[in-house]
Structure 1
């Protein structure tokens, strides 16, 4: 009997060795799952655990090099040296241009591959050297006080979905077998600060808000864009930590949406289970809880405790195998173990980094992101041969206001002052004095700045904030609230500074840099013209100058609502959507979502609905005319909104269901067609289910969302139509 058992064991061992010999994870002709399984079978349990943390060591005997999963490319390849710096994410959202965003994503991934290729050639494989990029951030910017809102695509789930899908597709490429880079959707889910509480906070939301606002963008990136990664947030959602959330991670992400990528914790988030949330007592409990829930990768080192978790029976080696396999599937999709010459991206050279083409694209993106909020008496554009321009303010030469956060660096970052100097005619005099500090009153009380405005034909006052004031928990070094803002106005010293300038200035143009919505009641009243330029990237100064002097017509639109005061907002810690964003606010905003002016005049006319009554499940087709009646060739951002007038539950006052950037020459007109599909008519009930109810629906079409302040702001008059679902 013993001899028989020994023979069986020997046969099994030899069969296992033979299977390993026959198994080649570098063979592109076998399936992805087989190749990943092949790797897992050849690893010891200690080696497997080491592969579950972002900084993975090499497995020399299998010729698997070390790899660090942590890389960033929010608006350009970040934290790895020279790269093209595009406008911050919120600025790209302000373009409302999905084709442009796709091109930006494609340019970023091209530079990413070039940098990876040269890093690998020199044996550099540490942090910020890999091809797994933890971008984009598709959280909903529900409250302007959140410092990381600048990383998002704004407050609307539909706009965020469309911009996010385009960006991910641009990053990941369209090769049938290999990813160009691996994009990631973060922070899943329901994550919007407060930054100071994120390691212990429980974001409590209704199922209606969860599915109506917080999840749609993640769903779109998974189901439409095929995003390769998802990152769990620091916070809890309705009691469970987002990196060990059975409902969100398994029932929704894997089962309902069919996600087949890797899930990673935010950095240090699993440690928060016992240090912040205090839902377990030990690292081994935290590690097992996250792993068992489906968190494949730990950004951090808590998963080093998984060996103890195994000893205590808190998890199994099968669970470890499942996660290791998922991670190697991503690396295989990137072609990291493919035969030489099999992956077309391996030949991309460093010549593409900050190529002329990419610089031109960064300029285009920055131009299209600029939002014109006021232009009294056609103050803008300014004549290039104007006699004297006075440039002043704390952000005129502030490079950080170009970079935002999660940035790369460039040898040619153009500030607003430099852009203006490079744009005006040789006979134009440009004078510059900073005049004010960014966030505190001048310590020297002498006024050597306001008098210069009196002799200038135009004064350009550059105000706003930067990553010093708003950003992530530890990086906004001038923030008193861990990167968040307590107030939505500009720092008081800047308001006081502008009052002095206004007293002397003949024509006052105010340029605002910011990554969030800033309440500007005093600024709006004082300015003759007002531009919102976000954090516009390396070409930002040139883009602003192009708009100021008429080489570009402003066409950006607000991806957020600008409230009049922080008093118009619910408490920051409250995640209920009631009273937030253009979809649910009851008070009038200062500037509505989607708003932005132009140098030309557009008109909407002749709205025709193919039918005013349709059966449930049928679409409604409509058309209208758009005309450029002004003197400038320009783009209009046409926006489509819907309201369910007779819903059985509380619904948004209006919801964006479509948009289209349309370029028209001066005097040109075009007919635009749009189809309202049954899915666009659906509402979300109190259980989080999408349903289509019979009744009356209202459609609004215009250059912004509908608001009672549109007329006084000079917004284009939109069109309204109604139809009934039987």
Structure 2
């Protein structure tokens, strides 16, 4: 009897704590012989058509929300479409949850810091690890297979609360991030080159959001549910749509999400461009989903339609397939019955959805070896180390007078004063769209404590620092310390979704804390800033008693170790700012609701982003120091010629400040069939100092100076390379001349101008440049 009890207990434990459970497979048992939609020999689209044809209208509309009801009589279970994986699998959304056996997932840095690494390989690698954990959680019943990430909205205004979610202000960098992260999430090894893109297997399904021109959450009485973004065609094509186009065309993302706001009077989820641009022009192979309750907002926020059935009908006809919410499931039946939309539109939407689920293996089982992933594949040591490495690579050294950093206390164990509201940060480091319990936390206080004796005083209880009661203790702690690390900045109480910033300053009492500590300190003070958006820290940048400043974004759960590794020289910082840091007065010059990127002299508005703003900065886009120094050389062709023989209607006039024009001022890129010609640029980089380090090479193109409305410069290539002390490497850029040297005109046309362009490598003291001319021959 005792032995039976032991065996029973063993089997019970084995059952309860099994590492891998069965993944969802719709077409199991005798289903393949009963229904064509389970016949694997058929194309996914044919299977999806068969499945939808077997549903009643009532059953169809029940599948149009993120909590799809399923059809039990067809063995089709319910499915939760909404999961999030912005910087790790999250329990935000109804499709994912954690339990006692799997309470955590790996917490990577928020996207703005990961983007600062300018490392495409890293971005894809993070996507691979996140999707491993997502698949593992799906196999044990904790998540779905569709994750509504990444956010690819450009940062237009420094006050935007969601900067933390984005890869920054440059559309090209954002697009490259999207392509790599999406490929990391979605690609199944061995299945990346499939002839039928609607048959290409998926590891998990990613989603690029929020289409489009979405970057006002809640500012000065204006919120995203009512905002009408007035956007020129030029800005739309050049900036707001560009990352989405890259995500769809190059990343082959399986989903695009439309946003809450209007654009030029039309709610984005009711805009026909969802179909004409996203699906037809760019070639989306997947589904389009509305942001949560955005269909409801068409009626209640924008008052664009006077009824929910009308809003549902218009969104379906515009190209929408899925509603995150209940508005479509509750009103689509009435919309069909009233003749507002044809049932065929619902059929198309569901077919798009089921093709995606078939590609994900939800019907037939996963491709690859993902069925073997289980609980032990979440929070693996190598994943946690990758999170730490991502934080290290993104950290930006902003100031380092007199080689204050890295710390070097060879003769003794130092005494460190670790101060500020972020000194013992935990949840502040992981930002938003983060799970409640990461695998573990490495706090700045704990990590720095490994290097010396620590005196800790937060000075402020939180980042808003409502009073100065704790400053005296911080001042006392800095006295006699060999060095002071002062961790300040922002958090989600100041910049977040539905919360835009009021200004670009630190909370006033944080400034008082810094001034008090700096005045009392006997050793060097290193300012460590946690934030997403830029902060006007000019007073401390210009203060010789603050010899070193480091920006660490929101560095994820391993942020403390990453910060300590950089400060003590175990890692040479190589990150670059992905956004411009403007002075405080910038925001007094223009409202956040002004969408135009170019300056408006009539209104006194300055330009936005490094491409169009030519004023004073606290730190420019792309800025970042190292513990070593680098020098450049550049090799490029002197000229590039394009043969226009037998091509009619390809030349276009261009707005210029000069009166003498070449015969063909520019060519219309979309009409030129020879744009595959490569222009090769080779940049030589030498590490001139004694410390090894990574370096980000930034390559900009500058259009001819006479072109009116052209960007000041435009990033066309970047690479992160590791260079040992005293060594030289070559970095090769193979550019598409038509694309990398083009401009966008007022009508949204992409034009390649004739004349002398410039190539610029780097910024500041490192910068070098060369000229390259573009000529057109055999003009009709």
- TM-score, length of structure 1 as denominator length: 0.90
Aligned pairs for 1:282-681 within 5 A: 282-303=307-328, 304-338=330-364, 344-383=369-408, 385-408=412-435, 409-422=437-450, 424=451, 428-437=452-461, 438-442=463-467, 444=469, 447-473=472-498, 483-505=499-521, 506-526=523-543, 527-567=546-586, 570-578=590-598, 579-605=607-633, 607-612=634-639, 614-615=641-642, 619-646=678-705, 648-678=707-737, 679-681=739-741
**Could you tell me which residue of structure 2 aligns to residue 98 of structure 1?**
120
Displacement after TM superposition at 1:58 (Å) = 2.9
The structural deviation recorded for 1:674 is 2.7
Alignment check: 8 A CA contact 1:20 1:38 kept: no
Query: What is the CA–CA distance in structure 1 between the aligned matches of 2:567 and 2:40, rounded to whole Å?
Result: 54
- Paired positions, count: 673
Structure 2 residue aligned with 1:56, among 68, 85, 99? 68
Q: Does structure 1 retain, via aligned residues, the 8 Å contact 2:64–2:350?
A: yes
Distance 1:646 1:530, change over 3 A: closer
Report the 3-state secondary structure (helix = DSSP H, G, I; strand = E; otherwise coil) of the residue aligned with 1:286: helix
Cα deviation, residue 525, structure 1: 2.7
Tell whether the 8 Å contact from 1:614 to 1:725 is kept in structure 2 after alignment: yes
Q: For residues 589 and 249 of structure 1, do their structure 2 counterparts lie closer, same or farther at Cα, with a shift above 3 Å needed?
A: same
Please say if 1:180 is aligned against 2:199. no
Cα deviation, residue 648, structure 1: 4.2
Structure 1 residues 523 and 646, CA, compared in 2 at 3 Å: closer, same or farther?
closer
Partner of 2:778: none
State the partner residue of 1:134: 148
CA distance in 1 between partners of 2:592 and 2:119 (Å): 30
1:44–1:566 Cα change, 3 Å: farther
What is the SS of the residue equivalent to 2:473? coil
Question: Hey, what's the Cα distance between the residues in 1 that align with 2:548 and 2:471?
Answer: 27
| Structure 1 residue 615, shift from structure 2 partner | 4.0
Aligned counterpart for 1:718 among listed residues 744, 755, 767: 767
> Which residue is 1:84 aligned to?
106
The answer as to 2:138 corresponding to 1:144 is: no
Deviations 1:522-548 (A, max 9, x none): 232342100000010111000000001
Deviations 1:596-640 (A, max 9, x none): 0000111113x3323245446655433342110111110110010
CA deviations on 1:85-132 (whole Å, 9 max, x unpaired) are 00001111001000001000000000000001101xxxx6xxxx2111
Counterpart Cα distance in 2 of 1:111 and 1:673: 35
The equivalent of 1:6 in structure 2 is none
SS at match of 2:108: coil
Contact 1:386–1:457, Cα closer than 8 Å, also in 2: no
Task: Give the Cα–Cα distance (whole angstroms) in 2 for the partners of residues 647 and 234 of structure 1.
Answer: 39
Is it true that 1:684 corresponds to 2:744 in the alignment? yes
For the residue of structure 2 that corresponds to 1:623, the secondary structure is strand
2:148 is equivalent to residue 156 of structure 1? no
Spell out, residue by residue over 1:6-61, the C-alpha distance to the aligned partner (whole angstroms, 9 max, x if none). Answer: xxxxxxxxxxxxx9986432222210101111110111111100111000113111
Over residues 252-277 of structure 1, what are the superposed CA-to-partner deviations in whole Å (9 max), with x where a residue is unaligned? 11221111210000001010111110
| Two-structure CA RMSD over aligned residues (Å) | 1.8
Q: Decide whether the 8 Å contact of 1:25 with 1:337 is kept in 2.
A: no
Question: What is the rounded CA distance, in whole Å, between the counterparts of 2:217 and 2:367 in structure 1?
Answer: 46
Structure 1 residues 268-299: Cα deviation after superposition (integer angstroms, max 9, x where no partner): 10101111100111111111111111110011
Matched residues in 1 for 2:110 and 2:395: separation?
12
Cα contact 2:179–2:251 (8 A) shared by 1: yes
Assess if the C-alpha contact under 8 Å between 1:614 and 1:620 holds in 2: no
Structure 2 length as normaliser, TM-score? 0.84
Contact preservation (8 Å) 1:453, 1:501: yes
Cα distance in 2 for partners of 1:317, 1:620 equals 51
| Structure 2 gap segments, 5+ residues each | 1-30, 92-96, 99-103, 192-199, 599-606, 644-674, 776-780
**Separation (CA, whole Å) in 2 of partners of 1:266 and 1:581:** 26
Query: Structure 1 residue 343: deviation in Å?
Result: 5.6
**Alpha-carbon separation, structure 1, partners of 2:629 and 2:692:** 10
Residue 292 of structure 2 aligns with which residue? Answer: 267
Structure 1 residues 100-109 or 522-531, which shifts more? Answer: 522-531
CA contact (8 A) 1:647 1:693 kept: no
Whether the aligned pair in 1 keeps the contact of 2:468 and 2:509 (CA below 8 Å) is no
- Once residues 448 and 183 of structure 1 are traced to their aligned partners in structure 2, the CA distance between those partners, rounded to angstroms, is 48
Residue 218 in structure 1 maps to residue 244 in structure 2: yes
Deviations 1:483-534 (A, max 9, x none): 1101011111101110000001121001000111222112323421000000
Provide the C-alpha distance between the structure 2 equivalents of 1:485 and 1:367, rounded to a whole number of angstroms: 27
Matched residue, 1:14: none
Deviation at 1:300, TM superposition (A): 0.7
Shift of 1:356: 1.0
Structure 1 residue 671, shift from structure 2 partner:
2.7
Q: Deviations over 1:416-449 (max 9, x none)?
A: 1111112x0xxx3211011123103326377222
Q: Is the 8 A contact 1:649 1:685 kept in 2?
A: no
